[in-house]
Amino acid sequence: MDTLLLSAIIGIAAGVIDIIPMVIQKLDRRATISAFLQYFFISIIIVNIDLPHIVWWLQGGLISVAFALPVVVLVSAQDRKAVPVILTMAAVLGTLIGLAGHFLK
């Protein structure tokens, strides 16, 4: 399977996993779409990048948390309780994306 197609499929799955709690809580539609798009595009980056001197299983979590930091800065002004949730989801989903990309590639 083509790597770009694989990363897009992983991104769709990760995006859906991330937005399920948001849909259940009936959060803002724009925030939900933003979260889905973030994990869709982050999956493409994680699956197709190789960071030097970083073990393969740690790369996804690091990249995902790094890309979540701007969102955390914006959200922390309104809702400080959401910050640990966002960072935890970024670390967990990023690591799972990295694992999926490594084993399915």
pLDDT along the chain (105 residues), means of 10: 93 96 94 95 95 93 96 93 95 96 91
Interior angle at CA 9, CA 6 and CA 14, nearest 5: 125
Note the pLDDT of residue 105: 83
Question: How many other CB atoms are found less than 10 A from the CB of residue 3?
Answer: 13
Predicted local distance difference test score (pLDDT) of residue 13: 97
Could you read off the pLDDT of 21-32 as tens digits, one per residue?
A: 999 999 999 999
Predicted TM-score (pTM) of this structure: 0.92
pLDDT at 1: 75
Domain boundaries, the chain: 3-104
Please choose, from the candidates 46, 24, 29, 28, the residue with its C-alpha nearest in 3D space to the C-alpha of residue 90: 46
